[in-house]
Amino acid sequence: MVNLPSQTRQHKNNIILIHGLGLGDWVFNEQFVPYFQSQGYEVTLITLPGHSAQDDAGTRQHISLQRCIAHVKNTIKQITGPYVLIGMSMGGGICQHIMADAQGLEQLKGAILLSSVPPTNSLVFTLRMCQKMAVQSPDVLIDFFCNKTNQKLIFSPHSLTHMPAKTIDHFVNQIIPGFALLEYEVFFQDLFKKAPQINHPLMVIGGQEDALFPAEVTQFLASYYNTTPHILPDLGHMIPIETNYLHSLQVMEPFLHEVFR
Q: Which regions of 70-142 does DSSP assign to beta strands (E)?
A: 79-80, 83-88, 108-114
C-alpha–C-alpha distance, residues 46 and 18, integer Å:
6
Q: What is the pLDDT of residue 15?
A: 97
Q: What is the pLDDT of residue 106?
A: 87
Q: 18 pairs with which residues across the strands?
A: 46, 87
Asked whether 15 and 42 are in contact (CB, 8 A), the reply is yes
Stretches in the chain below the pLDDT threshold 70: 1-11, 102
Asked whether 241 and 25 are in contact (CB, 8 A), the reply is no
- Other C-beta atoms within 10 Å of 151: how many? 18
Alpha-carbon dihedral 52, 160, 242, 60, rounded to 10 degrees: -20
Tell me: domain 9-259, CATH 1.10.3290.10, correct? Answer: no
- Other C-beta atoms within 10 Å of 178: how many? 17
Please, what's the largest Cα pairwise distance for the chain? 53
- The phi-psi region of residue 161 (left if phi > 0; otherwise alpha if psi is between -120 and 50; otherwise beta) is alpha
* Cβ neighbours of residue 69 closer than 8 Å, sequence gap 6 or more: 94, 97, 98
- Other C-beta atoms within 10 Å of 238: how many? 28
Q: What is the pLDDT of residue 105?
A: 84
Q: Cα dist. 200→58, 85, 226, 227 in Å?
A: 37, 11, 12, 11
Domain boundaries, the chain: 9-259
Q: What is the pLDDT of residue 53?
A: 79
Helix/strand/coil for 216: helix
Residue 86 — φ and ψ, nearest 5°?
A: -125, 115
Helix/strand/coil for 107: coil
Asked whether 121 and 220 are in contact (CB, 8 A), the reply is yes
